[in-house]
Structures are given as C-alpha cells and as structure tokens.
A and B are shown apart, each in its own frame.
Chain A
Amino acid sequence: QSALTQPASVSGSPGQSITISCTGTSSDVGGYNYVSWYQQHPGKAPKLMIYDVSNRPSGVSNRFSGSKSGNTASLTISGLQAEDEADYYCSSYTSSSTLRVFGGGTKLTVL
C-alpha cells in the first residue's frame, strides 16, 4: 500500500480538463510544499511535470498545473490531448524516516 493515495484511473475526452488527487497526511503533503508530479508513458522513465506543489519545469506545457489544499494535492490537465495518456505519480517529502513517498499512480485515459 502506497503512502500517498491516488485514484487508480481517470479519463477524459480531448479538450476537456481532468484533475488527479493525491492524499497524504500532515507529515507529508499537508506539512510541506514539496509535492511533485511525474508523467510516465509505457516503457519510459518518469518525467517531472510539477514540483514544489505548483511549479512547472522549463518545457512543460502550461496545460499542466498543480495545487494543494490541506493534506491533498492535485494535478490538473486542461485541454486534454491524446499524448497526455499516461500514468501519473505524485510524490512528497515526508518528515518520517522514509523521507520520500510516492503515490500508487493514476492511469489517465484520453477517450
């Protein structure tokens, strides 16, 4: 069982917006602004999409945005495109001895 909870799957049609949630505790998501999101296409390495809750690395589309409320972080993808179909993982720093935790991953299907 992953330390952070994500929905197993979400789906949306091209052009629509979807949101993926990531729920933790006050020891990780709720306590620090060190939440990051990764996109992983099949057979590929994860790619950093969002860091520090809401910052986008250079080169990542502004269709991707992140936010946090309490112990839940969210990744929103607007204007869905076929290429967005992938697995998405959240991750957070944690004050526990584990230091870094990941969510179980969410499979995004673009209908």
Chain B
Amino acid sequence: QVQLQESGPGLVKPSETLSLTCAVSGYSISSGYYWGWIRQPPGKGLEWIGSIYHSGSTYYNPSLKSRVTISVDTSKNQFSLKLSSVTAADTAVYYCARQIEMATIPVHFDYWGQGTLVTVSS
C-alpha cells in the first residue's frame, strides 16, 4: 500500500521560505510516476502547485513558478517543496500526492498524504 506523509514547520514568517518534505512508503519513487504538491487555503478549493517526474523533470503552476522549487531525493524515497517569499495568502493545507502518467502527460492523483497546515504569520 502506497503511503505519503508530509512534514515540515507549521508556522512560517512572512517573506521567508516554506519548506516541506513528503516521505513515500510502499513504492520506490525512482520506479516511476509523477509526484506532486497541491494546496488548499482554509475554506477554499484545491490548487495544484507543481509536480516532479521520477527522473527529476519538473512542472510548476505558472502562477507560483517564480517562487517554487520541487526536488526529489531517491536515496531517501522522498520529495520536497520550497516556496519562497511567502505571504499570508500562502497559508494553506499542503498535500503531497502521487500523480499518474499517461503518454508522458501528468494526469490524476491516486494516492494522497494526509496534509499539513502551514500558517504564514509573524
């Protein structure tokens, strides 16, 4: 059974960098698939942040691209998110998820982490 678990600080100061890690168990990241980050502001809908292919290729939401970096560490079977210059608008529950690939296109998310709330506040 594939399981994902997010970890990282629950509180980040404005203008600083948000850093989260997603540990994957039950499947080797290096074997395939995309691995993505999605966020959900309190009381609002889902927003795709970006995804990384097992080989390291990345795809980012253009609205966040200038501030986002997603990386993968196959030796630890985990992938990470960094979001720089955060503001209160970045306060959200952040989810990591496995993303299925169809003909090289990243499509749906089949396994999700439980999510972690990150609050941006001084």
Bound together: yes
Cα of A47 to Cα of B100 in the assembled complex, Å: 14
Do most interface residues of chain B lie in helix, strand or loop, or is the interface mixed?
A: strand
Nearest Cβ on chain A to B25's Cβ, whole angstroms = 16
Is A64 part of the contact surface with B, judged by Cβ < 8 Å? no
Residue of B nearest to A51 (CB): B108
CA distance A101 to B106 in the complex (A): 12
Q: Are A46 and B110 in contact (CB under 8 A)?
A: no
| B107 in contact with A97 (CB, 8 Å) | no
Cβ contacts under 8 Å, A102 to chain B: 45-48
Interface flag for A91 (CB, 8 Å): yes
Cross-chain pairs A/B with CB under 8 angstroms, 5 sampled: A45-B95, A93-B105, A98-B63, A100-B51, A102-B46
Query: What is B's interface to A at a CB cutoff of 8 Å?
Result: 38, 45-48, 51, 59, 61-63, 95, 100, 102, 105-110, 112-115
